[in-house]
Structure 1
Amino acid sequence: MTGINAIMNTELISVATDASVTDAVARMVEHNCGAVLVRDGGALFGIFSERDLLTRVVAAKRDPDSTKVSEVATREVTTVDADAELEDCFELIKRGGFRHLPIVDNAGLPIGMVSARDFYRALVVRMKAFVDSSAMAAQVAGLASILGDEAWPR
């Protein structure tokens, strides 16, 4: 099995709790990512995603310039340690219906993040590694059992 640290992005894209939603979105655009960590000092306060922007700001008709990201960020964030297994983390985001998973150190401080996009990239790399058709068939069967029939969150 492979650890999540093999695919985690160690460039922490984050904003402070007192940043505006506009500032958070600017960071997301600047780094072409769908979420930013919201940090209180070094500690993880929450996560702000495109979904939060749509449901808690746009749909709620809040002013992104005057709304603090801490007011609309997701506070109950699922995190994993850097030694977590890739497959377990994939199951976690699939069952949880979210697309971003912060990785934390032993003190609970963020050290990286993975997104659904990172899992897709890892999947492509694994599939390319299998040139033997019998190995490919076994891998596809294994992936089918992991993915299941449930619809992925959009």
Structure 2
Amino acid sequence: MGGVEAVMRTASQGIFTTSPDVTLQSIIPLLNKVTGLPVLDSEGVIVGVISRKDIIRVRKSGGTLSEKVRKHMTSPALTVPLRATVQEAADVMLQYGIRRIPVVDETGHPVGLVSRSDIFKPLGDYTRVMAEELEMLAGKGSWQIK
């Protein structure tokens, strides 16, 4: 199926990130655009992930949005290396029930993001192409078994 590099959205395409030292309130505008954010340390290495679900948990438990991301992020973050296959990324997402996963280089810096739709869109394209090829081979019309 190939590597994640072929299907990921790259950092240059606009991946939103945040710092562990900002308030939950400050990331709400970003979480209105995406459902989760990689949390980067001062050197740009992923140290966690914060999601809309985390914010909801904070509010339900009586916490305030003035609290720091660090307190509520999931850490360590689940990531996949740039050399990972699409299948490996899909396996991690399915195993942990997540919709997207950051792709990191060998130093732990984010280089992209892979979502379920990034993985499944090529599969849909492949299925469509295979169906068209089968139709060409079989000829248009219906098959009858006698």
Q: TM-score scaled by structure 1?
A: 0.75
Structure 1 residues 61 and 101, CA gap change in structure 2 (3 angstroms): same
Which residue number corresponds to residue 144 of structure 2? none
Structure 1 residues 132 and 13, CA gap change in structure 2 (3 angstroms): same
Task: Give how far 1:129 is off.
Answer: 2.8
How many aligned positions are there? 130
Larger of the two Rg values belongs to structure = 2
- % same residue: 25
1:73 maps to a residue whose letter is M
Q: Is residue 90 of structure 1 aligned with residue 90 of structure 2? A: yes
Q: Secondary structure at the match of 2:10?
A: coil
User: Of the candidates 28, 35, 39, which is equivalent to residue 31 of structure 2?
Assistant: 28
Post-superposition CA distance 1:29-70 (Å, at most 9, x none): 2xx221111111111120111222222x12212111x11111
> Once superposed, which parts of structure 1, at least 4 consecutive aligned residues long, lie more than 4 Å away?
none
User: Of the candidates 8, 19, 23, which is equivalent to residue 16 of structure 1?
Assistant: 19
Which residue number corresponds to residue 132 of structure 1? 133
**Distance across 1 between alignment mates of 2:122 and 2:78:** 21
Which residue number corresponds to residue 64 of structure 2? 63
Task: Give how far 1:74 is off.
Answer: 0.5
Structural RMSD (CA): 1.8
Q: Please, which runs of 5 or more residues in structure 2 have no aligned partner?
A: 136-146
Task: Give how far 1:72 is off.
Answer: 0.5
User: Of the candidates 47, 50, 60, which is equivalent to residue 49 of structure 2?
Assistant: 47
**Distance across 1 between alignment mates of 2:52 and 2:124:** 25
